[in-house]
Amino acid sequence: MKIGFIGLGIMGKPMAKNLLKAGYELIVLDTNLEVVEELVSLGADSAKNAAELAGKAKIVITMLPNSPHVKSVVLGEGGLIEGASSGSVLIDMSSIAPLASKEIAEALAAKGIGMLDAPVSGGEPKAINGTIAVMVGGKKEVFDAHYDLLMAMAASVVYVGDIGAGNIAKLCNQVVVAINIAAVSEAMVLAKKAGVSPDLVYQAIRGGLAGSTVMDAKAPMMMDRNFNPGFRIDLHVKDMNNIMDTAHSVGVPLPLASLVMEIMQAIKQDGCGIEDHSSIVKFYEKMANIEVSR
């Protein structure tokens, strides 16, 4: 089965590689020609634009930064909609605004093209080892038909409702992740400032109720001063903007999420936008005049 894959960034490249390992034939597209050549060297084909790619693959996966990028690739000049035939399916695995997913799906449906919005969680490490979590919106029968394909990249694939529901689930995920990272940051800074080893505190509490996947992923990065991006602050800020817009549109106040959003904005202004979101700890370090380390 030929699969089109558009967007070979931090997440997309390892996801595409996992599809190749699973035996799928890939046609890839990205603005970074070096990474395209890397995938071609592993057995993929390439296309000059989304329209050409969609003409060769009945299923196309997109993994792009934000709503405007997906709209451009799908609906713009040379876009997927120009080359895809009736019965084709777009699986958009980008994290975008739910309303944008619905708009794109409507435009595709007019040409007989199906769509799933299927954003992911887990960051680069889980994308590499094929254990991301995927939350999916769209028609149930389309989901069922593509479940095995999604599982080739993931440890968990869950159907959550109609189109747009996948991105609602992702926004909920990002609220919990952001607040959790902030809580871990506060705890690590408190331990260090109080003269107790943050590493020993981490070891003491990770097995109790405070323990979490977020803590296990991010506390070691903070202590090792490793802020290489598994998920960049810039991208989490993008998600937080989508979170606040969506929440306000349905009348839900999010006081904790809005606070962490401002923390992210502050450290972004300090030049940390391209760093991993574990660099939230730097906000607390700056206030406490201390640096977390083992």
Angle, helix 233-249 to helix 98-109, in steps of 10 degrees: 80
Residue type, 19: L
Please report the DSSP string for 199-228 in residue order. HHHHHHHTTSTT--HHHHHHHHHHHHT---
> Which own/partner pairs from 45-48 qualify as long-range (CB within 8 Å, at least 24 positions apart)?
47/4
What is the CA 189 to chain-centroid distance, rounded? 27
- Taking the CA of residue 162 as centre, how many other CA atoms within 13 Å lie in the half-sphere pointing to its CB? 4
Residue 294 one-letter amino acid: R
User: What tokens appear for 170 in the block?
Assistant: 């992702």
- The residues annotated with a catalytic role in the active site are 170
Note whether 70 and 64 are within 8 A (CB).
yes
Closest C-alpha to 276, from 235, 242, 243, 244: 235
Q: b/e for 60-70, b at 16 or more Cβ within 10 A?
A: bbbbbbbbebb
Q: Where are the alpha helices (DSSP H) in the chain?
A: 12-21, 33-41, 50-56, 67-75, 80-83, 98-109, 123-129, 140-151, 165-193, 198-205, 213-224, 233-249, 255-267, 281-288
Task: Give backbone dihedrals phi and psi of 212, rounded to 5 degrees, phi first.
Answer: -160, 160
